[in-house]
A and B are shown apart, each in its own frame.
Chain A
Amino acid sequence: MDFELSEDEVALADGMRRLCAGRFPLDRIRAAEGERVVIDPSGWSELADAGVFSLRLAEDAGGLGLGTAAAAVVFEELGRALVPGPILASHLAAGLVEGAADGKVMVGAVHKPRAHGAAPVVIEHLGSLGALVVVGDDALALLDPAALDAVAVDRSLDPLTPLWRVDHLPAGDAVGGPDDAARWRRDASVLGGALLVGLAAATVDLAVAYAKERRQFGKPIGSFQAVKHLCADMLVRSEVARAAVHAAAVTIDQPDVGDALRAAAGAGLLAVEAAMANGKTCIQVHGGMGFTWEVPAHLYLMRARVLADELEGSDTLAELVAERY
């Protein structure tokens, strides 16, 4: 038993962190705020070349043949760097949708609406998508995004996640049954959780850096316990969620060590909470500056809210854990 990151996993994380720092620095990502397309095809193919989408696909299918633990480590870095785009859906669609694995096609996903016509369906990144997966309770279906009667949303909560609205979502062509749908949801919890943990960890760094630098009453605000304890709680949330996400990922790879469904649901639940709470706290630690557009604190919170929507709801995840406890 060794639950630290292996040398290979550390190398994977370092590699992805370097790629993000070089290709997706925050100022370049932010240049696309409010645009209909937030990541260009060359950026997407660099992610594909790094194996972001094909990482878990078997080698004979053109993938890297790595496990979910390796993917979690990579996704954490993508979350930390705030890299935009339908990363999670495209990764989960590898092997299921032609062109997803090698980055030729951007794949999005949307939950199948539960009550027909109850609420408009909101689709992320539709303008960039080559395929759209509809995730239902018992099936996965595939839609052609170009054929949808979609209206672009003027303004999205996360300026780096453009949205479209459709009133009616066609059934689409079946591409997976109940097991595929269950696996999609489970893996979305873990790898979406990894993206969220990356966001949660990034906000700790951001808040702590500001608390060290900002001075009031003649000293850094980070020397006041009221601020210190906010930062400490942020670290606790991100480290606890991180352990949960890593354990869930390893349990998917090593099924004998536990209940992967329970671990995945719990990991998603805690990761959503950590990223949301840390995003809010990060704004608070920044004071008035945290409420300005210029300071990026809000981007982490809004992205967390987007990712929370890609997972099942927190109530559903909590009930899943309770059922299997």
Chain B
Amino acid sequence: MDLRYSESEESFRSGLREWLAEVLAKLPPKPSHLDWPGRRAYDTTWQRMLFDAGYAGIDWPVEGGGRGASPVEQLIYLEELERAHAPYVGVNFVGLLHAGPTVIVEGTPEQRARFLPPILRGDEVWCQGFSEPGAGSDLASLRTRAERDGDEYVVTGQKIWTSHAEVADFCELLVRTGPEDSRHRGITWLILPMDRPGIDFRPLRTIAGSTEFGELFLDGVRVPVANRLGDENDGWRVTMTTLSFERGTAFVGEVLQSMELLRGLRAIAQSTGAWDEASVRRRVGHLGAELDALWALARRNVSQAARTGVPGIGGSVYKLALSELRQRIADLGMDLAGSAGLVFGDIPGARNGPVGNLEIVSTWVHSFSRTIAAGTSQIQRNIIAERILGLPKG
């Protein structure tokens, strides 16, 4: 076990750190989270800056136009971006982390040439059409229908939890092409251009009051057969290949961000006098120990991926532990806030700590999504029990 970075890893880090220090000052001001066109412009500008500096698609293989960085370099990349408070991947999430990697593995040469470069340059934005009102954790039960009509599919159905649809150019869409009960054997992966007639999008309001995702209604939308990735009815396997890109780095930024949040909460406790209470100090210490442990686990998962070339199953352990820990850190923030926690916003005139009241309250409300999105904690426990511990399926 060795936690020291090699010379080449350190040189990758220092090059990135220098570039970040120079370039972040040139970023335009961050738009309001309600301003979708503004968010697209901001996120894609950042993506273009990464592209011009050779950092776009850090985890993509070189043949897909990416940087082909090693898993350890990917870890360093995420660590440095977090430390420098660089923008998040934002509206480029689906393109860079889902659709792009899938097109690299499963796409035809024409599809790769058409779709990959615009994702890397930040020219085109993607959204995801996987989940449906009746197909959440049980994704293989999806019902959105695609009927073949000549060289087109005609798609009718409904998707949900689609993020960035307002500003997306394409949607990675899973449709039912086999019989109704064909489950994972009758699913096809399509690239849906979002400017086609028959698409309607209705935003959903989250418990944070924001609109981060919504429902996508598809009524006779025509998609060229040329936009199919992989074979008809082979979409489930195509979808699974996306996962093979992950190198133990998912949610790595989040553990570092949580450490900074906890340090901020500690500073607040010290300034308000709450730090005089042993129970508060012990809570901070306990949460800190858990974050340190998860940062260690992240490095272990990345090391394993570096050796084996495939993501370790340890990702489920990490995701489950981190999302539940994140909620307990958010709880501490609300407890320290006291009555200010009733206010969903910053309080004028209040002492400005390192973590503002809005951030405390918003972090708390958002923390409830962590144990639901990307596989609920209950599904993660099933995965751990069945795939790691070998317990029988129910």
Produce 1/0 per residue, A1-12, CB < 8 A to B. 111111001000
Contacts of B281 in A (CB 8 A): 318-319, 322-323
Chain B nearest CB from A99 CB (Å) reads: 31
A-B contact number at CB 8 A: 180
Contacts of A212 in B (CB 8 A): 390-392
Partner of A325, one of B1, B285, B380, B385: B285
Produce 1/0 per residue, B350-381, CB < 8 A to A. 00000000000000000000000000001011
Partner of B285, one of A211, A241, A318: A318
With A239-B314, A317-B285 known as contacts, the answer to whether A257 contacts B3 (CB < 8 A) is yes
Partner of B307, one of A4, A232, A250: A4
Contact in complex: B320, A236 (CB < 8 Å): yes
Contact in complex: A1, B4 (CB < 8 Å): yes
Chain A nearest CB from B94 CB (Å) reads: 29
Contact in complex: A222, B391 (CB < 8 Å): yes
Q: Give the contact stretch, choosing among A160-168, A263-271, A300-308.
A: A263-271
With A240-B294, A315-B278 known as contacts, the answer to whether A211 contacts B391 (CB < 8 A) is yes
Produce 1/0 per residue, B295-312, CB < 8 A to A. 111011011101100000
Chain A nearest CB from B292 CB (Å) reads: 5
Assess whether A231 is interfacial by the CB under 8 Å rule.
Answer: yes
Q: In whole angstroms, how far apart are the Cα atoms of A321 and B307 in the complex?
A: 32
Q: Of residues A224, A232, A246, A263, which shows the largest number of chain B Cβ atoms within 10 Å of its Cβ? A: A232
Contact in complex: B286, A269 (CB < 8 Å): yes
Assess whether A19 is interfacial by the CB under 8 Å rule.
Answer: no
With A224-B394, A229-B378, A244-B289 known as contacts, the answer to whether A254 contacts B320 (CB < 8 A) is no
Assess whether A154 is interfacial by the CB under 8 Å rule.
Answer: no
Q: In whole angstroms, how far apart are the Cα atoms of A247 and B266 in the complex?
A: 23
Contact in complex: B317, A240 (CB < 8 Å): yes
Contact in complex: B3, A247 (CB < 8 Å): yes
Assess whether A69 is interfacial by the CB under 8 Å rule.
Answer: yes
Contact in complex: B3, A4 (CB < 8 Å): no
Assess whether B282 is interfacial by the CB under 8 Å rule.
Answer: yes
Q: In whole angstroms, how far apart are the Cα atoms of A247 and B255 in the complex?
A: 16
Contact in complex: A244, B378 (CB < 8 Å): no
Contact in complex: B2, A223 (CB < 8 Å): no
Partner of A266, one of B283, B292, B306, B390: B292
Interface size on B, residues (CB 8 A): 53
Contact in complex: B306, A2 (CB < 8 Å): yes
Q: In whole angstroms, how far apart are the Cα atoms of A231 and B381 in the complex?
A: 9
Assess whether A135 is interfacial by the CB under 8 Å rule.
Answer: no
Assess whether B5 is interfacial by the CB under 8 Å rule.
Answer: yes
Contact in complex: A241, B293 (CB < 8 Å): yes
Contacts of B290 in A (CB 8 A): 240, 266, 270
Contacts of A48 in B (CB 8 A): none
Assess whether A94 is interfacial by the CB under 8 Å rule.
Answer: no
Q: In whole angstroms, how far apart are the Cα atoms of A164 and B314 in the complex?
A: 43
Contacts of A249 in B (CB 8 A): 1
Assess whether A89 is interfacial by the CB under 8 Å rule.
Answer: no
Q: In whole angstroms, how far apart are the Cα atoms of A250 and B292 in the complex?
A: 13
- Chain B residues 1-47 with CB under 8 Å of chain A are 1-6, 9
Chain B nearest CB from A261 CB (Å) reads: 12
Contact in complex: B282, A223 (CB < 8 Å): no
Q: In whole angstroms, how far apart are the Cα atoms of A220 and B389 in the complex?
A: 14
Assess whether B81 is interfacial by the CB under 8 Å rule.
Answer: no
Q: In whole angstroms, how far apart are the Cα atoms of A325 and B281 in the complex?
A: 10
- Chain B residues 260-292 with CB under 8 Å of chain A are 262-263, 266, 278, 281-286, 288-290, 292
With A219-B392, A229-B385 known as contacts, the answer to whether A322 contacts B266 (CB < 8 A) is yes
Contacts of A262 in B (CB 8 A): 288, 292
Contact in complex: B284, A325 (CB < 8 Å): yes
Partner of B2, one of A1, A318, A323: A1
Assess whether B388 is interfacial by the CB under 8 Å rule.
Answer: yes
Q: In whole angstroms, how far apart are the Cα atoms of A240 and B289 in the complex?
A: 10
Assess whether A243 is interfacial by the CB under 8 Å rule.
Answer: yes
Q: Of residues B285, B286, B321, which shows the largest number of chain A Cβ atoms within 10 Å of its Cβ? A: B285
A/B interface sample: 5 pairs, CB < 8 A: A236-B320, A240-B297, A254-B4, A266-B293, A269-B286
Query: Which B residues form the contact surface with A (CB < 8 A)?
Result: 1-6, 9, 72, 75, 262-263, 266, 278, 281-286, 288-290, 292-297, 299-300, 302-304, 306-307, 314, 317, 320-321, 378, 380-382, 384-386, 388-394
Query: Which A residues form the contact surface with B (CB < 8 A)?
Result: 1-6, 9, 69, 204, 208, 211-212, 219-220, 222-225, 227-229, 231-233, 235-236, 239-241, 243-244, 246-247, 249-251, 254, 256-258, 262-263, 265-267, 269-270, 315, 317-323, 325
| Known A1-B2, A2-B306, A4-B303; further 16 A-B contacts with Cβ < 8 A | A2-B307, A3-B296, A3-B302, A204-B389, A225-B394, A228-B386, A232-B320, A240-B290, A240-B297, A244-B289, A244-B296, A254-B4, A257-B3, A266-B289, A266-B293, A318-B283
